[in-house]
């Protein structure tokens, strides 16, 4: 079973920041938080990951609370192309040896 809890759906106005929350209260000390998204009928796409520090890349920012029991993915300026299902996953760092356990994710709808 997935070790994360996410809201089933969220809406966001185009151009505004999308903040997607994730709870992972049972995360272990050596587990990372990964975010993937899946645009309709495509394979999941990696977005970002982190251990305990906040992370930022060209796609998004990841904010992890100090106790590591929750995190927030931030898309700073959402566009219509960001409409997708977003998955928060807790996993050991070597994805080549550890399968990803997906939940149902959050369906983000970006509205014009």
Partner 1 sequence: DAGVTQSPTHLIKTRGQQVTLRCSPISGHKSVSWYQQVLGQGPQFIFQYYEKEERGRGNFPDRFSARQFPNYSSELNVNALLLGDSALYLCASSFTGSYGAEAFFGQGTRLTVV
Q: Site residues (CB under 8 A) for partner 1? A: 2, 32, 34, 41-46, 49, 51, 85, 87, 93-105
- Taking the complex as a whole, the smallest distance from the CB of residue 36 to partner 1 amounts, in Å, to 8
Residue 85: Cβ within 10 Å count: 19
Closest CB to partner 1 among residues 15, 93: 93
- Taking the complex as a whole, the smallest distance from the CB of residue 14 to partner 1 amounts, in Å, to 26
Residue in the structure block whose two tokens are 């920041």: 17
Closest CB to partner 1 among residues 16, 104: 104
How far does Cα 9 stand from its chain's mean position? 13
- Cβ neighbours of residue 110 closer than 8 Å, sequence gap 6 or more: 11, 12, 13, 14, 18, 78, 79, 80, 81, 82, 83
- Taking the complex as a whole, the smallest distance from the CB of residue 101 to partner 1 amounts, in Å, to 7
């Amino acid at each position: 079973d997935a070790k994360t809890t996410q809201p089933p759906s969220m809406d966001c106005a185009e151009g505004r920041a999308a903040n997607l929350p994730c709870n992972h209260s049972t995360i272990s000390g050596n587990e990372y938080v990964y975010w993937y998204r899946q645009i309709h009928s495509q394979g999941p796409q990696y977005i970002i990951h982190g251990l305990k520090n906040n992370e930022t890349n060209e796609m998004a920012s990841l904010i992890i609370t100090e106790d590591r029991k929750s995190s927030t993915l931030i898309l700073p300026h959402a566009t219509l192309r960001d409409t997708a299902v977003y998955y928060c996953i807790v996993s050991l760092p070597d994805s080549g040896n550890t399968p990803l356990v997906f939940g149902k994710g959050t369906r983000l709808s970006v509205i014009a």
